[in-house]
């Protein structure tokens, strides 16, 4: 037996600190409740923020589409909010909204707004003029055309914006740890402070998995809401083969 190998039982008997692995199932088993609680908090914050941002962004996009002069100021204002560093935004909000969920939620909605507003507006502007001309010829008024023709046609672009905003929000939730409500970010911060690699990597992997799951869910929702796009793709395939 060589010297380094012989020292292993001696160090273990002397109470030497155990190895600090990057992946540890033992850590997961011992801290299951903390991990599930942080994951639940992270998921609920992400979903709620994206839903609120969508409810704000869609009417604003419709207004900007109906009144093109408002598009520049609305996009500019949301762009300014998006460029504010998250730590600074939370610091500004905290004295007014307190420490906790409300502050984090407001910040997340502000960051998701630009992506959702821009994609919805692009979708509305990209509607085929022939479709709107046909609707106008059938007697559709401006609001009816917006609700029945333009918004449904813009759904693929809206869903793309939802996917981008959701993935971005999953990452930004972790910054909420600065005001005591960061979901999986709390595990990361605790792991960094204690230099416990397994805690940091477990929280990071769960963020990645959560982003992938939510993105896949939105893809499926988008396909369910736009069946005509799949039908158009299916009808186009034989034509390409024949060509």
How far is residue 81 from each of residues 57, 146, 168, 226, measured CA to CA in Å? 14, 28, 15, 31
Provide the Cα torsion 102, 88, 168, 170; round to 10°.
Answer: -50
Provide the domain limits for residue 154: 36-223
- Does 202 reside within a domain? yes
Q: What is the mean pLDDT of residues 6-34?
A: 66
- Total domains present in the chain: 1
229: confidence class by pLDDT, cuts 50, 70, 90: low
pLDDT in tens, 198-228: 899 999 999 999 999 999 999 999 999 887 6
- Does 86 reside within a domain? yes
Q: What is the mean pLDDT of residues 82-87?
A: 87
The per-residue pLDDT for 233 is 56
16: confidence class by pLDDT, cuts 50, 70, 90: very low
The per-residue pLDDT for 186 is 92
- Does 242 reside within a domain? no
pLDDT over 70, % of the chain: 85
- Does 166 reside within a domain? yes
pLDDT of 238 over the 60 cut: no
pLDDT in tens, 142-201: 888 888 889 999 999 999 999 999 999 999 999 988 888 889 999 999 988 888 888 999
- Does 5 reside within a domain? no
The per-residue pLDDT for 24 is 82
- Does 78 reside within a domain? yes
- Does 187 reside within a domain? yes
As a residue count, the chain comes to 243
Record the tokens describing residue 86, joined without a space.
């998250």
Provide the Cα torsion 212, 217, 218, 222; round to 10°.
Answer: 140
- Does 23 reside within a domain? no
139: confidence class by pLDDT, cuts 50, 70, 90: confident
Q: Where would I find the H helices in 84-225?
A: 86-97, 101-125, 129-137, 142-145, 151-153, 155-173, 184-194, 197-225
The answer for residues whose C-beta is within 8 angstroms of residue 144's C-beta and 6 or more apart is: none
The per-residue pLDDT for 13 is 44
Whether residue 112 contacts residue 49, with contact meaning beta carbons closer than 8 Å, is answered with yes
Whether residue 124 contacts residue 59, with contact meaning beta carbons closer than 8 Å, is answered with no
Record the tokens describing residue 190, joined without a space.
């605790």
The answer for residues whose C-beta is within 8 angstroms of residue 199's C-beta and 6 or more apart is: 27, 31, 187, 188, 190, 191
The per-residue pLDDT for 196 is 85
The per-residue pLDDT for 5 is 42
CA–CA gap between residue 177 and residue 171 (Å, rounded) = 12
CA–CA gap between residue 67 and residue 60 (Å, rounded) = 10
Residue 121's CATH number:
1.10.3720.10
């Amino acid at each position: 037996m060589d010297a380094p190998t012989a020292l292993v039982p001696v160090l273990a008997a002397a109470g030497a600190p155990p190895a600090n692995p990057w992946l540890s199932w033992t850590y997961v088993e011992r801290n299951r409740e903390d991990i599930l609680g942080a994951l639940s908090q992270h998921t609920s914050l992400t979903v709620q923020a994206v839903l609120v941002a969508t409810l704000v962004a869609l009417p604003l996009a419709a207004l900007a589409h109906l009144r093109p002069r408002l598009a520049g100021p609305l996009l500019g204002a949301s762009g300014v909010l998006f460029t504010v560093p998250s730590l600074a935004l939370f610091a500004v909000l905290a004295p007014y909204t307190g420490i906790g969920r409300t502050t984090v939620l407001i910040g997340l909605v502000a960051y998701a707004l630009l992506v959702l507003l821009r994609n919805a507006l692009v979708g509305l502007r990209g509607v085929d003029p022939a479709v709107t001309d046909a609707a106008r010829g059938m007697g559709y008024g401006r609001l009816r055309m917006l609700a029945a023709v333009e918004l449904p046609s813009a759904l693929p672009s809206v869903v793309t914006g939802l996917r981008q905003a959701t993935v971005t929000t999953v990452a930004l939730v972790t910054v909420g740890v600065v005001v005591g409500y960061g979901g999986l970010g709390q595990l990361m911060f605790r792991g960094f402070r204690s230099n416990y690699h397994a805690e940091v990597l477990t929280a990071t992997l769960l963020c990645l998995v959560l982003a992938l799951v939510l993105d896949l869910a939105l893809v499926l929702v988008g396909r369910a809401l736009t069946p005509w796009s799949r039908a158009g793709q299916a009808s186009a395939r034989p034509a390409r083969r024949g060509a």
